[in-house]
Amino acid sequence: MYFVRTAGERDLEKIRAVLVESFHATYDRFYGGPKVDELIAHLFSPAALKARLAKKNAEFVVADSGKDIGAVGYAAMSADLAKTAILHLLYVRPALQRQGIGRDMFAELETCFPDAEIMRLEVEPKNEDAIGFYSRLGFIEAGRNENVGPGQSGIATLVLEKHLPAH
């Protein structure tokens, strides 16, 4: 049984472990292990994760069983888009997927931004499992981004959006 709670600094090592495992399980087939290692080093360094914990207008949550962390979620209000929260991370350990943990994590995150009217995210266009998951949560396709990540990565994403209920 996992419960969703706000992440703290003491969780960072376990958060990084969830992200490394989930990122490899998700993206190795698309980009290969070395490219995924490069992305992990850039996106999930201890300093990068610590900075996310401290960010204002953001929420960093974990699914905690009391023994381990099974999932990680992070969203923040957009600096560029009015009344829009950006879902940056929602990863569940592969062995725990399809048990409702991701849905519970998202349900918590979508309530954390009372001024947001839209939740937006980007997803790998070939990641059919994630696209299906987000579609079931009410997201629809809103565009594409052809070059995300560090430098000129060449990594494309689908942009999905969901209108949030008024609070």
pLDDT of the chain, 167 residues: tens digit per residue: 999 999 999 999 999 999 999 999 999 999 899 989 988 998 899 999 999 999 999 999 999 999 999 999 999 999 999 999 999 999 999 999 999 999 999 999 999 999 999 999 999 899 999 999 999 999 999 988 876 655 555 678 899 999 997 75
* Dist. CA 16–CA 3, nearest whole Å: 19
Q: Is 125 helix (H, G, I), strand (E, B) or coil?
A: coil
Report strand pairing: 3-6 vs 58-64.
antiparallel
Residue 8 burial (10 A CB sphere; 0-12, 13-18, 19+): exposed
Q: Give the span between the Cα atoms of 129 and 135, in whole angstroms.
A: 10
Neighbours of 76 (CB within 10 A): 18
Q: Tell me the whole-structure pTM to 2 decimals.
A: 0.91
Of 129, 128, 134, 133, residue with least CA distance to 162: 134
Distance CA 153, CA 167 (A): 38
